[in-house]
Amino acid sequence: MASISLRHVSKLFGSVRAVDDALLDIADGEIICFLGPSGCGKTTTLRMIAGFDRPTSGEILIGDQVVSSAKDNVPPERRNLGMVFQNYAVWPHMNVFANVAYPLKLRRVPKRDLRQKVQHTISLVGLEGLEKRYPEQLSGGEQQRVALARSLVMEPVALLLDEPLSNLDAKLREKMRFELMDLHRQIGVTMVYVTHDQAEAMVLSDRVVVMNRGRVVQVDSPTAIYGEPRDPFVADFIGLANFVPVVLQDESAGQGVAESTGPARTRYRCRVRPHAGRVLPAKGTLFVRPEDVAILPLEEGEVKGTITRATFLGTRLDVRVDVDGVEWRADASTDSDLHEGRQVGLSIRRAIFFDS
Amino acid sequence: MQRPTPGSTLRTGGFWGPNVTARACGALAIAVLLLAVALPLVALFYRSLIRDGALSLGNYIDVFSATRNYQPIWDTLVLGFWSMIVAAALGVPLAWLVARTDLPGRRFLEIVCLLPYMLPPLIGAMAWTQLLAPRAGYINQLWMSLMGTRTPLFNIYSFGGMVMVMGFYTFPFVFLAVRGALERMNPSLEEAARICGARSARVARDITVPLVIPSIAAGMMLAFLYTASNFGVPALLGMRARIYVLTTRIYAYVLQGDMAGIQLATSLSVVLLALAGVLILGNRWILRRQHGAAIISGKSVRPTRVELGRFRYPLAAVVHLFMALTTMSPIVALFITSFLKAWGLPLQASNLTLRNYQYILFEFPLTRTAILNSLILAVASATAAVLLGAALAYIVVKAKVRGRQAVDALVTFPNAIPGTVLALAMILAWSGRYGVNLYNTFGILIVAYLAHYTFYAYRNIAASLVQVHPSMEEAARISGAGLFRTLRDVVFPLIRPGLTAGWLLVFAPTLRELTMSILLYGPYTPTIGVALFDLQDAGYFHIASALAAVLVVVILVTNMVMRKIVGARTTAA
């Protein structure tokens, strides 16, 4: 097993910067998720790690060996990686056993060892008894497991997964997430995972790499990505968020006061990141998660508003409140008596200011 | 007030409801199909089992007890086999080069590869004759004068000549099948093998080739079927060398004109039909199995192209030169001959003339009648085929009546039945025995063309209809349009490209049809195909070439129009 490093990796397709100066160290045994909207460069990054695409500039290291650079490219077949493709890529002309055994066959593993290893891996992913089946006789989830077994059987230095769960239905997807985690706990292989599903990234990863338009925007633990997004893109892409146009009036030691641009000029206390060259008052956006907005009786809140809509969502109530001309979204418990037209007070637990 | 009818199918509404006209149209279409296809084929089977007014296997015993009857079966198999091999030897590498490498001029190659697909093999046989006729063929002449010898390089009037021409004309079947498979194949299947540790040669051996083999086999079977069904090539090249295949033997027996001839021709036709059936069922079986192994495709990743490196340009030169020689040179030879005062004259300004064109277009009664006849027949058949095909496609795709699989089969399979067999079946069914005599009229030709070619219109229209979501029609119905109003205002505009393409797809092959026409034409109904065959067979190469040249231009123009309409989709004509 090994660490993986990306050093200023860029990839151009024609004049399009698919990946722009990616810098990242993946620790041995870590699960890393590349998360971002389609076209953000996450799959291209994965394909460069695999060796299918060659970086235009920069280097990729597996362990301490440079495997990709503008000059040199170790071909995929010599990188000793496992990879699970979005469409599984299980070979339709080989049965389950043959699919899983293929990497070992290429490595000329003796017959008895091969049988034993293949059997072991097949039972690891829970496919015992299906060895003789052909892919067309398997469900999507089973094909997925074949692909997984095939990528693990030769004990790869790292496992690459390209949106492996996106073709499964919602229930199965959730089940597989936890199975992948269990699997990781058992074998501890470094995993690099590409997804556009934030829930998947949150559940699985040690660290999430958020990408947008070819750039790595933030690399952090799931909690930090959710709670401390670095910019409005990350804040908006992950979870739900309120964005309120404000002007920052005052700041000191990471805390500040922002004033809404609405007629009532409501003032909010918020967290402020240090930012060179910021001149007060500074225009920007206030970011607040719906669950950080508490709905209180009119007289108790720091901010006043009128409920415009309250929607029952099963476990929670999705409440829209008009505050100073801006529609806020708040999360309330279902037992609260909230209805359209009621005036309420809001208390904001946590807000972050982003410069515009 | 009109009662609202839910849905939009023929089955809805009471029997005496507003759909009674629609039902009548559907019933009429199915009746036409039964009369044009089912009845003649039943007549053919039945007659092959009748001897002196009683059921008997005598006809088949006759077939298998005389060399001149069973030799053609063997020769058909051998000819089909070798053409299929040539087709694979050409089609597989070309498909790989076009689909998977960075060979320069791939797009151009693709078009050149489809050229033989568009032109009838009869024209190919004519053109190759001009290049390789033993004494006067252009290539043989060149060879003999260069080498100072009197032995020609190659005699086209031979089994080898037939294999060569059929191979050149059937390789697109393999080419298209393999190219399609290579392009559709999910690139991650190969990438998965690489990440598992396989080098590219190993990936080809373990993954690519096994996955493409079914397509190769399916394409080869089509090549075999096409060769076994062909009449023009063995007739022009084989009969002169006394080599008979099934189609030419059947033709000879029908020409014999007596009862014994018809009986033997009928039994041989059933044999040929059985062969065609085996091939087409084999083809479908392979394709279905391959479909069963279909791979869930995710996002489309660009196909990985092999970089040919330093072989790129030399290989391109070889391939392009070869394709030019095999597909372009015969056509060029044809055009050159069409401008010569007589075939075999040296190519110099004083021997060139436009007289041949003037002759075939304005003076010679045979060609003038043939051109006019073929135009009338092609327009009539194409129009009838579109009407019939549209009605049947609607029944199968939209109305979903019970037994639609049978309807589908009755339109689809006759396209794979050798024309010779179909023509004989038409003679047996429609020359007065059952009360209607269409023999020697346009009628029997149109029925035969319809049976054979309605499939093209049907397939295109059905494909367009599938695209029209039921909600489109339902929206029109809920807005207050009746069935026919809905068809006119919503369905028709949406499937118009399919209708036009379907019309052209029937028009092009009927215009140049030979195999069925040669058995069905009468004194007043010669067609272009018949005229071409007669002129070439009688040695009037320069006149035949002029007629062929006109035909080639018309076919290519039709194809260009068709491509404009159906987009890049590859179509058979």
DSSP B39-53: HHHHHHHHHHTEETT
Encode pLDDT of B191-246 as tens digits: 899 999 998 889 989 998 898 998 999 999 999 999 999 999 999 999 988 999 99
In whole angstroms, give the CA distance from residue A246 to residue A236.
Answer: 17
pLDDT of residue B303: 63
Listed in sequence order, the residues at least 6 apart from A192 whose beta carbon sits closer than 8 Å to its beta carbon are A4, A26, A32, A34, A46, A49, A158, A159, A160, A161
Q: Do B294 and A136 touch (CB under 8 A)?
A: yes
C-alpha dihedral sign at B20, B21, B25, B26: negative
Q: Do B188 and A80 touch (CB under 8 A)?
A: no
Mean pLDDT per block of 10 residues along chain A (356 residues) reads 90 90 93 92 92 92 91 89 89 92 93 94 91 90 92 92 86 86 89 91 92 94 92 90 90 87 84 83 90 88 88 88 88 82 89 89
- With tokens 């207050």, the residue in question is B480
Q: In chain A, what residues touch B207 (CB-CB under 8 Å)?
A: 91
pLDDT of residue B290: 67
In angstroms, what separates the C-alpha of A86 from chain B's closest C-alpha?
6
β pairing state of A57-62 and A31-35: unpaired
Within an 8 Å CB–CB cutoff, is residue A74 touching chain B? no
Residue B54, H or E segment: strand B54-55
Nearest to B293 among A52, A93, A106 (CB): A93
pLDDT of residue A36: 92
Of the candidates A39, A35, A43, A60, which has an alpha carbon nearest to the alpha carbon of residue A209? A35
Residue in chain A nearest B190 by alpha carbon: A89
In whole angstroms, give the CA distance from residue B443 to residue A270.
Answer: 89
pLDDT of residue B567: 59
Residue in chain B nearest A153 by alpha carbon: B196
Nearest to A87 among B196, B198, B295 (CB): B295
In whole angstroms, give the CA distance from residue B147 to residue B128.
Answer: 21
Q: Do A166 and B195 touch (CB under 8 A)?
A: no
pLDDT of residue A213: 92
DSSP B473-495: HHHHHHTT--HHHHIIIIIHHHH
DSSP state of B569: -
pLDDT of residue B252: 94
Q: Do B297 and A87 touch (CB under 8 A)?
A: yes
Mean pLDDT per block of 10 residues along chain B (573 residues) reads 45 50 85 91 91 84 86 95 96 91 87 81 89 85 86 90 93 91 85 90 90 91 95 93 94 90 92 94 83 45 73 91 86 90 81 90 92 95 95 87 86 92 93 81 94 94 89 84 85 89 91 93 92 92 93 88 66 38
Both tokens of B544, joined, read: 């035949």
Tell me, rounded to whole angstroms, the distance of Cα B424 from its chain centroid: 18
Counted residue by residue, chain B has a size of 573
In whole angstroms, give the CA distance from residue B226 to residue B80.
Answer: 8
Helix (H, G, I), strand (E, B) or coil at B135: coil
DSSP B181-250: HHHHS-HHHHHHHHHTT--HHHHIIIIIHHHHHHHHHHHHHHHHHHHHH--HHIIIIIGGGT---HHHHH
In angstroms, what separates the C-alpha of B210 from chain A's closest C-alpha?
7
Within an 8 Å CB–CB cutoff, is residue A39 touching chain B? no
Residue among A52, A159, A168 with most chain B CBs within 10 A, to mutate: A52
pLDDT of residue B8: 43
Cβ(A126)–Cβ(A96) below 8 Å: no
Q: In chain A, what residues touch B202 (CB-CB under 8 Å)?
A: 106
Both tokens of B39, joined, read: 């009845």
Residue in chain B nearest A50 by alpha carbon: B195
Q: Do A147 and B294 touch (CB under 8 A)?
A: no
In angstroms, what separates the C-alpha of B208 from chain A's closest C-alpha?
10
Tell me, rounded to whole angstroms, the distance of Cα B310 from its chain centroid: 39
pLDDT of residue B530: 94
In angstroms, what separates the C-alpha of B39 from chain A's closest C-alpha?
41
What HEC string does chain A produce?
A: CCCEEEEEEEEEECCEEEEEEEEEEECCCCEEEEECCCCCCHHHHHHHHHCCCCCCEEEEEECCEEEEECCCECCHHHCCCEEECCCCCCCCCCCHHHHHHHHHHHCCCCHHHHHHHHHHHHHHCCCCCCCCCCHHHCCHHHHHHHHHHHHHCCCCCEEEEECCCCCCCHHHHHHHHHHHHHHHHHHCCEEEEEECCHHHHHHHCCEEEEEECCEEEEEECHHHHHHCCCCHHHHHHCCCCEEEEEEEEEEECCEEEEEECCCCCCEEEEEECCCCCCCCCEEEEEEECHHHEEEECCCCCCEEEEEEEEEECCCEEEEEEEECCEEEEEEEECCCCCCCCCEEEEEECCCEEEEC
Cβ(A278)–Cβ(A325) below 8 Å: no
Q: Do A76 and B194 touch (CB under 8 A)?
A: yes
pLDDT of residue A267: 85
Residue among B184, B185, B188, B195 with most chain A CBs within 10 A, to mutate: B195
Nearest to A52 among B191, B202, B207 (CB): B191
Both tokens of B554, joined, read: 């018309």
Encode pLDDT of B467-520 as tens digits: 888 888 888 888 888 888 888 888 888 898 889 989 998 998 999 999 999 999
pLDDT of residue A254: 85
pLDDT of residue B6: 45
In angstroms, what separates the C-alpha of B310 from chain A's closest C-alpha?
20
Of the candidates B166, B171, B206, B213, which has an alpha carbon nearest to the alpha carbon of residue B189? B206
Neighbours of B169 (CB within 10 A): 30
Q: In chain A, what residues touch B299 (CB-CB under 8 Å)?
A: 86
Q: Do A77 and B186 touch (CB under 8 A)?
A: no
Residue among A79, A85, A99, A157 with most chain B CBs within 10 A, to mutate: A85
ipTM for the complex shown: 0.81
Nearest to B293 among A81, A85, A136 (CB): A136
Q: Do A167 and B298 touch (CB under 8 A)?
A: yes
Within an 8 Å CB–CB cutoff, is residue A108 touching chain B? no
Both tokens of B296, joined, read: 């869930």
Q: Which amino acid is at B413?
A: F
In angstroms, what separates the C-alpha of B197 from chain A's closest C-alpha?
4
In angstroms, what separates the C-alpha of B231 from chain A's closest C-alpha?
39
Please provide residue A186's backbone torsions phi and psi, each rounded to the nearest 5 degrees. Answer: -70, -40
Residue B182 CA neighbour count, 13 Å, CB half: 23
List of domains in chain B: 1-9+21-47+355-573 (1.10.3720.10), 79-245+296-328 (1.10.3720.10)
